[in-house]
Amino acid sequence: MGNALSRGAVAFRVGLGAALLVSVAVPLLLLLVWSAGRAWFFPALVPSDFSGDAWALLGGSLGRAAATSTGIALVVGALSGALGFVVGRAIAQLRGWPRHVAAALAFLPIAAPSIALGTGAQYYFLRLGLGGSPLGVILAHTAPAAGLASLYFLGVFSVTDRRLEDEARTLGARPWQVLLRVTIPAFRRQIAEAIALGFLVSWSQVPLTLLVGGGLVRTLPLAVFSYIRAGQERYAAVGALLLIVPPMLVLGMAMVGTRRAAVIAA
C-alpha cells in the first residue's frame, strides 16, 4: 500500500467507510421513524401518519424506567469497579495453575447465560428478601459486571508493575494511603473504564432483571422487551433510542476527546 493509497485502495476505503456509516445510521434512523410512525404498513417506505404519543411517555413510564435503569447501572458500575479492582489485582499476583483457576472463576458469571444465572439464583435472592427490590437487581447485575471488571483489571495489572506502590510503602505510607494517594490516581482512567463497562452490563440486562426483579423493578430494556412483545413498535422504538443514544454520545465524545480507542481488551 505504501504511503500513497492506490485508486483501488481509496475506493475500498470509501466503500468500507460508507458501509460502517450505514451500519450506524440506518438503525438509528429506522428507530427514529418508528418512534413516531403510525399505521406504517408494507410496502410503504414512510409512515402514512405520525403520532407523538410514545414520546409523551418520556414524562411518564418510559422516563421513570430510564431513571431506574440509570440509577441501578451507576451503582452496579461503582460496585463492580471496586470489586473488580480488588479481585483483578489479587489474580494478577498469582502464577501457574491458581492463576488459571481464579481467572476461570472470575469469567464464569460473564459466561453463564443470564437466563441460567437468573433461574439458578432466583431462589436465593428471594430467600434473602431481595427479590423484586432494586437492591436485589443491583446485586444480580453486579455478578456479571464484577466478573467482567475482574478480568479487565487482571489485564491491566498483568502489564503494570507495583514499583511505585512499593516505593511509597518503603517511604512509610500506610496501605490505605498507598491505595488512595498512589494506586487509585495512577489507574484513574482504567477505573473509569471499568465503571463504564459495569454500567453497560447492567444497562442492557433483561433476563436477570426479569427473574430477580420479578417485574417490580421496571428498567428500560424490560420496557422495550415488553412493548415489542405486545406489538407496540412505536413505544419500543422510543425506549430503544433512550437506551442507545446517550451511551453512544458519551462513547463518541470520549473517543474523540482522547483521540484514541479505549483499551478494554479483557
Partner 1 sequence: MRHRRAGWMRLCAAALVVGCGRAAPPPSAAQLSALPWDSVVTRARGTTVTWLMWRGDPSINAYVDHWVAPRLLATYGITLHTVDAQGPGILNALVVEREARRIPGTADLLWINGETFANLRHEGLLYGPWAGRLPNAAYVDSASPIISRDFEQDPSGYESPWGRVQFALIYDTVRTPDPPRTVDALKQWILAHPGRFAYDRSFTGMTFLKTVMYALSGGVAPFQGGFRETAYDSGSARLFGWLDDVRPALWHSGNDYASDVAALHRMFANDEIDFSMSNNQNDVLTKVRQGILPATARPLLLRDGTIANAHYVGIAFNAPNPAGAMVVANFLLSPEAQFEKQKPAVWDDGTVLAVDRLPVLWRDRFDTLARDPRALPRDSLAKYARPEVAPRYQERLEADWERRVRQGHR
Partner 2 sequence: MTRSAAFGIAAAAIVASPVLLGVGYSVLASFGLAGVGATGFTTARVARVLGAAATWHALWWSASTALVATALAGIAAVLVGVVARRGRRIDRLTQLLSVLPLPIPHIVAAVVGVLLLAQSGLLARLAYAAGMIHTPAQMPVLVADRLGIGFTLTLAWKEFPFLALVTFSLLATRGVAMEEAARTLGADAWTALRRVTVPMLWRGLLPAMVVVFIVIAGSYEAATLLGPSNPLPLPTLTYDRYLDIDLTRRGDAYVLTMLGLALAAVGVTIHEWVRAWSERG
165 binds, among partner 1, partner 2, none (CB under 5 to 8 A by kind): none
Judged by CB under 8 A, which stretch of 14-22, 127-135, 164-172, 199-207 contacts partner 1? 127-135
DSSP, collapsed to helix, strand or coil, labels residue 74 as helix
Identify the sign of the CA torsion 39, 45, 50, 53: positive
Judged by CB under 8 A, which stretch of 55-63, 170-178, 183-191, 245-253 contacts partner 2? 245-253
127 binds, among partner 2, partner 1, none (CB under 5 to 8 A by kind): partner 1
218 binds, among partner 1, partner 2, none (CB under 5 to 8 A by kind): partner 1
Q: Which of 204, 214, 218, 232 binds partner 2 (CB under 8 A)?
A: 204
With beta carbons less than 8 A apart as the criterion, state whether 110 and 171 touch. no
Q: Which of 7, 95, 127, 259 binds partner 1 (CB under 8 A)?
A: 127
With beta carbons less than 8 A apart as the criterion, state whether 82 and 265 touch. no
Q: Which is nearer to partner 1, 119 or 258 (CB)?
A: 119
Residue 54 in the binding site for partner 2 (CB under 8 A): no
Q: Which is nearer to partner 2, 28 or 181 (CB)?
A: 28
With beta carbons less than 8 A apart as the criterion, state whether 210 and 125 touch. no
DSSP, collapsed to helix, strand or coil, labels residue 83 as helix
Q: Is the peptide bond before 43 cis (omega within 30 degrees of 0)?
A: yes
Q: How many CB atoms lie under 10 A from the CB of residue 114?
A: 21
We find the least distance from the C-beta atom of residue 182 to partner 2, in angstroms, to be 20
Rounded Cα gap, residues 87 and 149, in angstroms: 9
Q: Which is nearer to partner 2, 173 or 264 (CB)?
A: 264
Residue 168 in the binding site for partner 2 (CB under 8 A): no
Between residue 208 and residue 247, which ones bind partner 1 under the rule CB under 8 A? 214-216, 218, 222, 226-235
Q: Which of 28, 32, 33, 40 binds partner 1 (CB under 8 A)?
A: 40
Give me 85's grid cell. Answer: 479492582
Between residue 116 and residue 145, which ones bind partner 2 under the rule CB under 8 A? 116-117, 119-121, 123-124, 140, 143
With beta carbons less than 8 A apart as the criterion, state whether 245 and 252 touch. no
Rounded Cα gap, residues 213 and 215, in angstroms: 5
Identify the sign of the CA torsion 105, 111, 112, 117: positive
Interface residues with partner 1 (CB under 8 A)?
A: 37-43, 49, 51, 53, 60-61, 86, 122-124, 126-133, 135, 139, 214-216, 218, 222, 226-235
